[in-house]
Amino acid sequence: MGKNCLTACGKHQFGWECEIECGVGNVLDACSGSQICLPDPYGCNCLSGYTGIYCDEQCTPGRFGVDCLQYCHCAGGMPCDAFTGKCEGSCEDGWSGEGCQVPPICPVGYYGINCTEFCNCPDLSECEKDSGFCTSSEGQCEIGFVAESPEKPDRCATFAGCFESCSKTCHCAATVTCDDESGWCTSCHPRWSGDNCQIDRFTATREKTNPGTAIISCTFDADSDGSLSMRASIGDFSAESFVTATSTDTSDGSSLQSNFTLSIDDIETKTIYCFVGNSTSDDGFAYISLLPQGTFVLPVFNSKPRLAEQGYNYLVIAWDSWNPGVDVGDGPVIGYNVYVISLDGNGTVTFITASGVPREMSTSRRKREDPKWINSPMVGPPRNLPSRKKRQGDAGILMHNVTGLDDGQSYQIKISAVRDGLNGEGEKGPALSVTTREIPVETPIGSSTIGPIVGGAISGIIILLLIAGLVIIVKIRR
């Protein structure tokens, strides 16, 4: 019963509105073994909850309805009510409705909570279940239907009329009908102009961008008075969907152009709208939708950086340039972020351009390794570190000198690649764990060392005296 016959009758009920019951004292004395018959060509069926040749067999677990023809869709495979299909718990993933009979994907040509609304897409093609957006035609409606409604911006829900043997859609203002031969209107819809309202005043483009970013450009052929302003929204026209974004507006009196740069986490999956006028009124309100664009895949390294040299307060690391044939993502890569993280969680990040090469210093290796040079501003990689000019786009090895570190401390170093455009940094690659060299501690001369030194000296004198005595004895014997 109910709208579109979506509500199942309860136990032992039937009829156009479930108004008849079976059982003793009713039209049908017995529910088991009874049939309900409708005019041809429908025929007869057992009552809901029963099946079999004589309609005296109850539905087996997992089945319900007239002649037990329908399947339960309960979570965990649990059985449902044999008469209504209702589940004691929740519906199976994707299924909904009172009897868990609304599928996750509506049949072709339908949409809505119960899959009962018509898509009105060209050639009876499919549309999105929730929004009614015509997917195969990229939003284009069936001839005669339009989606010019702030409440339902994606749905082809309104029949606006058609002309030329219904080969073209009318675009007249609200409550105005068009000539069914020429399409002429006494007044056009605010978005359309021309003799028969077939010239679209809106044009829009949406660039392919990095995830979380959208760059759009919208142009509207405005009235000469230039009183209109353009705004953007995401998902719908509710006030909370209006976006405050970086934008530039230009107007030459006959057209209005706005360029928007938006940054929202899930923007790559949502429709963006440019509109003029007031979305709460059909008077002068017009909009255009920009479909979600595919986004670039951010670049990610598959291999970790390598240690080229380590010192007391510096590390020289090397890594292979991001390579689209080996690593993940899309280029072009314009640089790299080098993350240096200590064991206590403190860290720094340094951006290195794609043409970055290691610094070369004038100090010798001997001076740099001498502890007294540790605090010198000249400390850096040795002169003989390999160096090569790196042109952007070249494949090869990049190196970077990480300075200002503590001696004998452990660090993790990660590198991320950054592609062109806003939000272009990819995930950090695998970490290199490394420890700087520890400055040796010289033992001071104190009271604890005088004894061993004096004792060593005395032992040396005694040995020399013994040797001298032996020499004298040998000479006397001779």
Tens digit of pLDDT for each residue in 265-280? 777 778 889 998 877 7
Neighbour tally for 72: CB within 10 Å? 25
> In this predicted structure, what is the pLDDT of residue 396?
76
312, 283: one domain: no
What CATH number did the domain enclosing 93 receive?
Answer: 2.170.300.10
Rounded CA-CA distance 73/91 in Å is: 6
> In this predicted structure, what is the pLDDT of residue 116?
86
Report CA-CA distances (Å) from 355 to 76, 217, 335, 388, 391.
57, 33, 8, 10, 5
Residue 71 lies in a domain: yes
Torsion of CA 308, 310, 313, 317, to 10 degrees: 20
Residue 64: pLDDT band (50, 70, 90) is very high
Phi then psi dihedrals of residue 401, to 5 deg: -95, 115
Amino acid at site 413? I
**How many structural domains is the chain composed of?**
3
Q: Is the pLDDT reported for residue 395 higher than 70?
A: no
Residue 392: pLDDT band (50, 70, 90) is very low
Average pLDDT over residues 197-202: 93
What CATH number did the domain enclosing 358 receive?
Answer: 2.60.40.10
Report the SS3 class of residue 104.
Answer: coil
> In this predicted structure, what is the pLDDT of residue 61?
92
**Full residue range of the structural domain in which residue 79 is found:** 1-102
Domain end position, chosen among 82, 102, 122: 102
Phi/psi zone of residue 405: left (φ > 0), alpha (ψ -120 to 50 degrees), beta?
A: beta
Residue 411: strand pairing partners: 342, 434
327, 387: one domain: yes
Whole-prediction pTM: 0.64
Average pLDDT over residues 204-233: 85
Residue 30 lies in a domain: yes
Element (H, E) at 369: helix 365-369
Give yes or no for a contact between 354 and 320, defined as CB atoms under 8 angstroms apart.
no
Q: Is the pLDDT reported for residue 311 higher than 50?
A: yes
Residue 142 lies in a domain: no
Residue entry with tokens 């000469």: 224
Give yes or no for a contact between 305 and 432, defined as CB atoms under 8 angstroms apart.
yes
Q: Is the pLDDT reported for residue 426 higher than 90?
A: yes
Q: Is the pLDDT reported for residue 260 higher than 70?
A: yes
Domain end position, chosen among 42, 69, 102: 102
What would you measure as the largest C-alpha separation in the chain, in angstroms?
Answer: 153
Q: What tens digit of pLDDT does each residue of 433-463 get?
A: 999 999 887 666 554 555 555 556 566 677 7
Rounded CA-CA distance 78/95 in Å is: 14
Residue 76 lies in a domain: yes
Give yes or no for a contact between 222 and 254, defined as CB atoms under 8 angstroms apart.
yes
Q: What tens digit of pLDDT does each residue of 91-133 get?
A: 999 898 888 888 888 889 999 888 888 999 999 899 988 889 9
> In this predicted structure, what is the pLDDT of residue 244?
65
Domain end position, chosen among 102, 121, 154: 102
Element (H, E) at 476: helix 447-477
354, 236: one domain: no
18, 87: one domain: yes
> In this predicted structure, what is the pLDDT of residue 363?
37
Average pLDDT over residues 336-360: 80
